[in-house]
Amino acid sequence: MRDLSHHILDLAENSIEAGARLIEIRIVENSRRDRMIFEIADDGKGMDKERLERARSPFFSTKKERRIGLGLPMLVQAARAAGGTFSLSSRPGGGTRVRATFQRSHIDRQAIGDIAETMTVLIIGHPEIDIRYVHKIDGRGYVFDTRNFRRQLGADSIAAPHALDLIAQDIRDGLARIRRTH
């Protein structure tokens, strides 16, 4: 996967397949500590201890059409290549949490990618799922939440082209605002 937005898409699809109705995505960047934290948590069916152990293997997948699950192993590799760590926690009926840390300035840290595009793709494919995306850079934050857009636009119109344009623009503007350093 070329960037973190692709990992978000892959992990969100796994969450949806596991019955999640809410996916929370969090990226926290801290330049002073030279760290970036990347987390995805869901309220899906979760995994028992055995499945949790197997989930890290590239040769394990719950998908019928594909017997290889490279998403998590690729994220583990990306975190380690950038001087970071990886953790995975889950419990049956309690959802799953994926957390990766990265040295923010590391030359091998993957770029974040196009978050606006990733969110719109998820909404188009799964308009019934709630997504909360939080991004913080040195204390400045942006929050995107499909529940807020549903209240403003109406539940049935979140995946309409005009709504997707508004959502993508809101995400781009919000991320640009927190990237400003003045």
Residues 6+ apart with CB under 8 A from 165: none
Domain ranges of the chain: 4-179
What is the length of the chain?
182
The whole-model pTM stands at 0.90
pLDDT tens-digit map of 59-93: 555 555 544 446 888 999 999 999 999 999 999 99
Cβ pair 130, 146 in contact under 8 A: yes
Question: Which residue did the predictor score with more confidence, 52 or 122?
Answer: 122
Mean pLDDT on 88-113: 96
pLDDT tens-digit map of 128-171: 999 999 999 999 999 999 999 999 887 678 999 999 999 999 99
pLDDT category, 181, cuts 50, 70, 90?
low
Cβ pair 67, 61 in contact under 8 A: yes
Residues 6+ apart with CB under 8 A from 18: 42, 44, 45, 46, 96
**CB-based burial, 93-102: b 16+ in 10 Å, e otherwise:** eebbbbbbbb
Unique residue bearing structure tokens 């005009």: 162
Cβ pair 52, 91 in contact under 8 A: no
Q: How far apart are CA 46 and CA 41, in angstroms?
A: 10
pLDDT tens-digit map of 109-134: 999 999 999 999 999 999 999 999 99
pLDDT value at position 45?
96
Residue 165 Ramachandran class (φ > 0 left, ψ -120 to 50 alpha, else beta)? alpha
Mean pLDDT on 9-37: 96
Q: How far apart are CA 72 and CA 70, in angstroms?
A: 6
Q: How far apart are CA 164 and CA 125, in angstroms?
A: 12
Mean pLDDT over the full length of the chain? 91
Query: What's the CATH class of domain 4-179?
Result: alpha beta
